[in-house]
Amino acid sequence: MDCLPALRRAAAGGMHDGELLRFLRAAKFDAARAEAAVAKTVAWRAENADVLQGPEADPVLSTLLGSLGSVDACGAPVFCLQLPEDGGMTLEESLLHDVVVRVCETLRLALRTHGVDAVGLTLLLDLRSVRLSIFFVSMLPVVRELSRLCEQHYPECLKSVLVDCSGTDHPLLPRSWTLFRPLLSESLQARTVVIAESHQLMAALHEY
């Protein structure tokens, strides 16, 4: 791939080739755009070095993100993003940014660990125990920040997002997701599947 040396130089040794391929794919194989995006992310990572270090030690992160214990169609682990059952978690803007950065960094490290840098992971967004009001107050800002960071600095890190609304006491929740789905980036919209019935989850995992 002719543009790979230029992307490696822009990454300054901080990214594997599979991750560089995700940047190139996100730029629709426009080498100049991909190189600029890589350079921008390298600078962003330097500015946020303190936030990026040791994401596994973040106590807030540990309540939000965990491995589901299942694998997707590519054999990569599925991660689950979930609010505490009481929904009692409204993050200040600065803390929200830091926590979501660590979510993204945890997924990035998992990609490398499992050798799927170029493919991406599946994220299960578990909304089953979330009240509709709590969803808009607490979960929506997390999802929007996740979308923004994935678009800018972790392109195609998420191969697919499964939104699990099955078994919820609020039948309007799947419809509400549909209403604000356009707020997400176009690339993330295309990778998102809403699970309305519990039996659909395993089928979705096998498909995606």
Is the CB of residue 67 less than 8 Å from the CB of residue 26?
Answer: no
Calpha distance 74→177 (Å, rounded): 27
Q: Return left, alpha or beta for 29; rule: phi > 0 is left, psi -120 to 50 is alpha, else beta.
A: left
* Contact predicate 121/159, CB 8 Å: yes
The answer to whether 36 and 165 have CB atoms below 8 angstroms apart is no
Query: Hey, CA dihedral for 138, 182, 73, 166, is it positive or negative?
Result: positive
What's the CA dihedral at 138, 136, 199, 205 to 10 degrees?
Answer: -60
For residues 106 and 143, give the distance between their C-alpha atoms in angstroms, rounded to a whole number.
Answer: 16
Strand partners, 81: 65, 125
Give yes or no for residue 9 having a pLDDT over 90.
yes
What letter does residue 67 receive in the DSSP assignment? E
Q: Which parts of 88-157 are beta strand (E)?
A: 121-126
Angle, helices 4-11 vs 17-26, to 10°: value is 110
Q: What is the pLDDT of residues 89-127, one digit of tens each?
A: 555 656 778 888 888 888 888 888 888 888 888 888 877
21-45 pLDDT, tens per residue?
999 999 999 999 999 999 999 999 9
* Contact between 109 and 146 (Cβ < 8 Å): no
What letter does residue 184 receive in the DSSP assignment?
S
Q: How many CB atoms lie within 10 A of CB 200?
A: 16
153-206 pLDDT, tens digit per residue, is: 999 888 888 888 776 555 556 666 666 677 777 887 888 888 877 777 777 767
